[in-house]
Amino acid sequence: MKILMVSSESNPLFKCGGLADVVYSLSKKFITYKQRVIILTPFYKKIIRHFDESKKEIFFQTNINFKNKLITVNYIKYIYDDIEFWLVENDEYFNRDNIYGYEDDEERFLFFSLASAALISKKHVSFDIIHLHDWHTGLIPGILFQEMIVPKFIYTIHNPLFKGNISLQRLKEYYGELELPRKIKNNLDYISMLETGIIMSSKVSTVSPNHSIELLRDERYGLKETLANRGNDFVGILNGIDVKEFNPNKDNYITHNYCVDNVLCYKKENKYELCKKYNLSNPEYPLYGIVTRLTYQKGIPLILDSLDELVKMNCNFIFLGVGDKEIENKLQEYQNRYNDKIRVIFSYSDEIAHQIYASSDFFLMPSFYEPCGIGQMIALRYGSIPIVREVGGLKDTIVSFNGLNEDEATGLSFYSYTKEAFLLAMNNSLELYLNKRTFAKIVHNGMHQDNSWTKSYKEYLSLYNDAILNR
């Protein structure tokens, strides 16, 4: 099978969030099973740190009509880490320091969609499946529809709150007269790129079974009717993690490697070193790790509302991430106030992230919503007990300890998005930390859990085959 992945980001060249991890890890798994995968994505300035100019090959060039002018687009073929990338080159839109966060993001990814469609129109017969990811790629089937090109598209929803809404007038300014199917128009003056991808693809998935249920029943996401109309063509497939990258027994970022048999001994050594490095108080206190975007979605305000009470319980906290400035400022205030118990690193570093996973006793993910989440799966792999809210993939991946199920439990969870519910879960974690035997059992349960891509790969392969057969 030959597969084209189309995404706004992908590891290992560049990454903003979990989307890059998923696209890369899933592609690697398909390649492991002898399928051919190509990743189509923009050629960002961020690529330069990995890029070997001697391996750069412009394999295709074409002109596209964008904003009523012809623009020449180069497509670069690049092999990195055994993955073949096709990179859309345009300095005006992609030669920037960051992937997202610009006022013209709408324009940038409309350009990427049109450039991707131009390439697919020339190469589509070469692919059995074209797998599109999130709103940035949702218009590609609509663009190709007017050319009567209908390859088999799979469309995956990673974050349903970003829909890529665009007015029909603005769309006309970018694309000219684009004849979209009547079924994707909402009788208003705009369309949703996300919904276009959902409606026009052969099959649709999201990133966990529980999140697929949430999307079908929760009006907040605004996709209930659209997805219900897809019937059995819409499924939830849980993301996995790259178990080679996240392996405490061979992790070069941590000082003391360990496996499930010696986790409690060597994890403690890592914790002592991390507490010393960041001047945290008594390393015998439980250490709570947080590696995430510092946003409302990730439940950080819930943690902030509880920190005054928590630091009095003899806990240490270490945060790694960037995000909303208001949240960053509040975290800085708490760090100044409790300098020996709270440390915040306002950046993202793979090295520090791995060290936090390998050192923390508990890992906090009290997300307001979380389609899948991979942090909790990495934490399990490293023997850090997740404390999660029962939403999306967090509910699918964590079995909460209730005092009677220590043979199955892998973490702690709560449902109500309230300070009271969160503090109850935190109090339970402190009791668990003092119960060394049960604590060790839950650590071992989590490390034994299989969160690799193997099961998910088989589900995606089945989805691909169903799409191919239903011609």
pLDDT by residue for the chain (471 residues), tens only, comes to 999 999 999 988 888 878 998 999 999 999 999 999 999 999 987 676 666 777 778 999 999 999 999 999 999 998 887 789 999 999 999 988 888 889 999 999 999 999 999 999 987 778 999 999 999 999 999 999 877 777 899 999 999 999 999 998 999 999 988 777 666 666 668 889 999 999 999 999 999 999 999 999 988 899 999 999 999 999 999 999 999 999 999 999 999 999 999 999 999 999 999 999 999 989 999 999 999 999 999 999 999 999 999 999 999 999 999 999 999 999 999 999 999 999 999 998 999 999 999 999 999 999 999 999 999 999 999 999 999 999 999 999 999 999 999 999 999 999 999 999 999 999 999 999 999 999 999 999 999 999 999 999 999 999 999 999 975
Report the greatest alpha carbon distance in the chain: 69
The answer to whether 409 touches 445, Cβ cutoff 8 Å, is yes
Burial zone of 422 (CB within 10 Å; 0-12 exposed, 13-18 middle, 19+ buried): buried
Q: Considering only CA atoms, which of 306, 257, 248 is closest in space to residue 430?
A: 306
Pairs from 226-232 (Cβ < 8 Å, separation ≥ 24): 226/195, 226/198, 226/199, 227/198, 229/199, 230/198, 230/199, 230/204
pTM of the model: 0.93
Q: Considering only CA atoms, which of 215, 142, 214 is closest in space to residue 182?
A: 142
CA angle centred on 390, ends 458 and 331, rounded to 5°:
115
